[in-house]
């Protein structure tokens, strides 16, 4: 179920990986033997241990790809695994893999992959995608996802995990970097996830932050309120602020606005509360920028960074990652 038939390609891939693995293991095995003087103790080192040892001494990325779970886990009934070879586009790939729910799975999975890949131009035939997810109402919650990119020459990984001190789970790569970038400024007190970027939908001119109704919305820069609550059929309650450099910042779909036209705001001032007003189907902030009549990307304007998982979380994350990797390698 939820599998695309890739039998035409997959055996070839497996053969070549197995071939590489065999060579590599022989080399590692030899290295381990010589390092320990070829004693009996060394001769009981297993293939798995050799691969782990390679990782510990800083093996090349290819080694990581060869590390497979000792015992593939059975997939619990509440989880689903979609694994496919990419063909034409990500959307098309997911549609073929799951004609009924592929579109929504694609939309949610894209939020993890678009930070590293241009989903329009960077995909190549033969790339492989895997998504482990469960349903929460109509939306998939992605527990883990991988994308093997020929263009990048590496595999993008994302594991769902809640870091200490965070109000929400996020997604972290195998090496402990947060997958979604964060703005270098705050536009709200806290948010669950960035769910849309500029042009991730047609004529989408801002960034969407999913957050509960009532979350305080903050202007990241000092400025003057130009207008509030215009075009409410589409924007809902909104605030437009002109920053010092003339750039207009717009905060839309608010449940309420707390400022008046002409009011001067210092950086970090509250402009209103997150909501679901106007043309919106779930509580979120739409934040967009305009300068001289042109759309400006908040990621570029404010700058971004990637967080690293706190050291105290590493052991817990590694255990969770091992659990999710085993599930990703489940055969159905």
Whether 252 contacts 238, CB under 8 Å: yes
Chain center to CA of 230? 33
The nearer residue to Zn ion, 122 or 297, going by C-beta atoms, is 297
Q: Which residues bind Zn ion (CB under 5 A)?
A: 206, 208, 286
The nearer residue to Zn ion, 42 or 119, going by C-beta atoms, is 119
The nearer residue to Zn ion, 221 or 286, going by C-beta atoms, is 286
Which distant-in-sequence residues (6+ apart) come within 8 Å of 178 by Cβ? 170, 171, 172, 306, 307, 308, 309
Burial 216-255 (b: 16+ CB within 10 A, else e): ebbbbbebebeebbeeeeebbbbbbbbbeeebbbbbbbbb
- Tokens representing residue 55 in the block: 């990782």
Shortest distance in whole angstroms from residue 285 CB to Zn ion: 8
The nearer residue to Zn ion, 101 or 286, going by C-beta atoms, is 286
The nearer residue to Zn ion, 176 or 249, going by C-beta atoms, is 249
Whether 83 contacts 9, CB under 8 Å: no
Shortest distance in whole angstroms from residue 195 CB to Zn ion: 8
Residue with nearest beta carbon to Zn ion: 286
Burial 154-179 (b: 16+ CB within 10 A, else e): ebbbbbbbebeeeeeebbbbbebebb
Shortest distance in whole angstroms from residue 207 CB to Zn ion: 7
Shortest distance in whole angstroms from residue 213 CB to Zn ion: 16
Helix, strand or coil for residue 207? strand
Which distant-in-sequence residues (6+ apart) come within 8 Å of 11 by Cβ? none
Nearest Cα to Cα of residue 192 among 306, 111, 76: 111
Shortest distance in whole angstroms from residue 238 CB to Zn ion: 11
Shortest distance in whole angstroms from residue 274 CB to Zn ion: 13
The nearer residue to Zn ion, 273 or 324, going by C-beta atoms, is 273
């Amino acid at each position: 179920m939820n599998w695309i038939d890739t039998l035409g390609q997959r055996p070839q891939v497996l053969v070549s990986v197995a071939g590489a693995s065999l060579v590599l293991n022989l080399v590692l095995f030899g290295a381990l033997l010589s390092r320990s003087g070829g004693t009996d103790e060394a001769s009981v080192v297993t293939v798995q241990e050799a691969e782990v040892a390679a990782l510990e001494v800083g093996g090349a990325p290819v080694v990581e790809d060869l590390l497979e779970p000792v015992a593939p886990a059975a997939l619990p009934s509440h989880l689903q695994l979609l694994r496919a070879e990419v063909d034409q586009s990500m959307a098309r790939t997911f549609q073929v893999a799951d004609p009924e729910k592929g579109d929504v799975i694609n939309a949610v999975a894209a939020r993890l992959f678009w930070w590293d890949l241009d989903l329009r131009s960077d995909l190549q035939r033969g790339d492989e995608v895997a998504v482990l997810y469960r349903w929460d109402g109509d939306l998939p919650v992605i527990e883990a996802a991988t994308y093997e990119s020929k263009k990048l020459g590496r595999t993008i990984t994302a594991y769902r995990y809640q870091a200490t001190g965070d109000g929400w789970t996020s997604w972290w790569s195998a090496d402990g970097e947060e997958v979604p970038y964060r703005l270098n400024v705050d536009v709200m007190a806290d948010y669950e996830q960035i769910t849309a970027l500029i042009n991730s939908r047609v004529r989408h001119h801002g960034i969407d932050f999913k957050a509960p109704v009532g979350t305080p919305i903050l202007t990241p820069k000092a400025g003057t309120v130009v207008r509030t609550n215009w075009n409410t059929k589409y924007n809902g309650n909104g605030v437009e602020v002109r920053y010092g450099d003339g750039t207009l910042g717009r905060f839309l779909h608010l449940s309420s606005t707390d400022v008046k036209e002409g009011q001067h705001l210092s950086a970090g001032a509250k402009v209103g509360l997150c909501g679901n007003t106007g043309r919106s189907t779930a509580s979120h902030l739409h934040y967009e920028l305009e300068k001289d009549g042109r759309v400006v990307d908040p990621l570029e304007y404010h700058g971004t960074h990637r967080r690293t998982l706190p050291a105290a979380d590493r052991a817990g994350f590694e255990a969770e990652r091992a659990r999710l990797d085993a599930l990703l390698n489940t055969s159905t």
